[in-house]
């Protein structure tokens, strides 16, 4: 796929830039600006070349209509702070304010259109509806740059259809994401270890299915581990369990054994009666979880087990926390696994979503990892081996 440098002379060109600025908010306060910071290098590359940059993004899940709680105003403000320049915000997406805001841009200026999901056509399943919205967006620009990796798995107007209407290229972030995942999926150094966590095994079925053909070791933690433990015949108390996936998981255990893939499960867990910051906790064997307790983190023996399995790895992908890391009593498993991944003498990729949030929330050094993805859903679909529409369209 083409990069920015292949778009030619950008001076005076209106560049429609699809970024992923879908950040968590507490009122008007951004609680994690990682995605905004990740968007800055591409914007700076464009403005340095004299482009007039028009940023398109979404925030949250508005119901296809303007909703003040999902306004991009806090994001535009933070973007301006990071760029050290004023960033104008249009009050609509393709209306009068958008047209006036874009028309007022000088070379090197940046503006943000209001939340693209305020227009119901953005995410429409109807190709004609999406196309009509993309036509209106295209009138605001001369070129299109796709840099919102977190949305490239979506067939949406500002991601997919717009690339069919304007000369296009991948931004620096999308290029970096594709390069990082291509390396771990197509040409990994071995031993190749994948660490999967998170709450539901059903969210990762496609990933496990694909990775069992590729990896040397698969370490399973988080809430999804309890369905695996149940498949091994253990009782899991009040822990998160997907009964309807037990047989599927049992099949994965059999396949791993047949293929010589080392599938490693927790040997001990941190349990509590309730999910609370002041919960009374205990460490129990994974095979002996009390009926009235919930497993909410991996235990110290599992931490050491996982650390050992990561110690000689040359390629590691980590996707999903090991426990309820947002609460101190259940954060240590995620912290220690993240540290072990960061110490890998090889390629270490953090697969976005909660894993990336955990790295920042726990105060870990982001620079210690080879790559921290900005796209949870997109990275999962890449790990599943799927084609992503927002990437394939860039190759045309």
- Is 58 a known ligand-binding residue? yes
Ramachandran region, residue 24 (left: φ > 0; alpha: ψ -120 to 50; beta: rest): beta
- Is 278 a known ligand-binding residue? no
Q: Which one of 77, 155, 200, 214 is the catalytic residue?
A: 200
Contact criterion met (CB below 8 Å) for 387 and 363: no
Active site residue 150: no
- Is 35 a known ligand-binding residue? yes
Is the CA virtual torsion 306, 310, 311, 312 positive or negative? positive
Contact criterion met (CB below 8 Å) for 332 and 301: no
- Is 117 a known ligand-binding residue? yes
- Is 320 a known ligand-binding residue? no
Nearest CA to 374 out of 173, 167, 224 is that of 173
Active site residue 377: yes
- Is 130 a known ligand-binding residue? no
Contact criterion met (CB below 8 Å) for 265 and 286: yes
Active site residue 52: no
Cβ neighbour number for residue 5 with a 10 Å cutoff: 10
- Is 154 a known ligand-binding residue? yes
User: Residue 166, exposed/middle/buried by CB under 10 A (0-12, 13-18, 19+)?
Assistant: middle
- Is 363 a known ligand-binding residue? no
- Is 59 a known ligand-binding residue? yes
Could you give the angle at which helices 376-383 and 172-186 cross, rounded to 10 degrees?
30
- Is 5 a known ligand-binding residue? no
Distance CA 26, CA 23 (A): 10
Q: Which one of 18, 35, 45, 230 is the catalytic residue?
A: 35
- Is 20 a known ligand-binding residue? yes
Active site residue 314: no
Distance CA 174, CA 151 (A): 10
Q: Which one of 353, 375, 376, 390 is the catalytic residue?
A: 353
Distance CA 329, CA 195 (A): 21
- Is 355 a known ligand-binding residue? yes
- Is 235 a known ligand-binding residue? no
Q: Which one of 95, 108, 206, 377 is the catalytic residue?
A: 377
Binding residues for ATP: 204, 295, 326, 352-355
Binding residues: 20-22, 35, 58-61, 117, 154, 204, 295, 326, 352-355
| Residues with catalytic function | 35, 200, 353, 377
Binding residues for (2R)-3-phosphoglycerate: 35, 117, 154
Binding residues for substrate: 20-22, 35, 58-61, 117, 154
């Amino acid at each position: 796929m083409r990069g920015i440098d292949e778009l030619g002379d950008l001076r005076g060109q209106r560049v429609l830039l699809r970024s992923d600025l879908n950040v968590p908010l507490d009122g008007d306060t951004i609680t994690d600006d990682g995605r905004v910071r990740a968007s800055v290098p591409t914007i700076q590359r464009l403005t340095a070349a004299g482009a007039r940059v028009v940023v398109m993004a979404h925030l949250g899940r508005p119901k296809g209509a303007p909703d003040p709680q999902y306004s991009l105003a806090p994001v535009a403000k933070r973007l301006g702070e990071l760029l050290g320049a004023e960033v104008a915000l249009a009050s609509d997406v393709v209306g009068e304010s958008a047209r006036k805001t874009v028309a007022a841009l000088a070379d090197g200026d940046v503006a943000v259109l209001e939340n693209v999901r305020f227009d119901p056509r953005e995410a429409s399943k109807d190709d004609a509806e999406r196309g009509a919205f993309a036509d209106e967006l295209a009138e605001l620009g001369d070129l299109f740059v796709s840099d919102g990796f977190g949305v490239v798995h979506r067939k949406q107007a500002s991601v997919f259809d717009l690339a069919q209407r304007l000369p296009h290229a991948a931004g620096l972030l999308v290029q970096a994401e594709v390069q990082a995942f291509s390396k771990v999926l197509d040409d990994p150094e071995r031993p190749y270890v994948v660490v999967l966590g998170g709450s539901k095994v059903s969210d990762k079925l496609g990933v496990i299915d694909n990775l069992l053909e590729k990896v040397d070791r698969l370490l399973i933690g988080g809430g999804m581990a309890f369905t695996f433990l149940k498949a091994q015949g253990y009782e899991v108390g009040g822990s998160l369990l997907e009964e309807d996936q037990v047989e599927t998981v049992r099949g994965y255990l059999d396949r791993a054994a047949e293929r010589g893939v080392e599938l490693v499960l927790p040997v001990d867990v941190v349990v509590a009666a309730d999910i609370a910051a002041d919960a009374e906790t205990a460490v129990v064997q994974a095979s002996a979880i009390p009926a009235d307790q919930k497993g909410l983190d991996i235990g110290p023996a599992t931490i050491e087990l996982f650390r050992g399995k990561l110690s000689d790895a040359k390629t590691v992908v980590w996707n999903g926390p090991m426990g309820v890391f947002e609460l101190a009593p259940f954060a240590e498993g995620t912290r220690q696994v993240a540290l072990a991944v960061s110490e890998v003498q090889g390629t270490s990729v953090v697969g976005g979503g909660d894993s990336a949030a955990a790295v920042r929330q726990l105060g870990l050094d982001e620079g210690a990892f080879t790559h921290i993805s900005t796209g949870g859903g997109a990275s999962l679909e890449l790990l599943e081996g799927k084609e992503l529409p927002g990437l394939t369209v860039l190759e045309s």
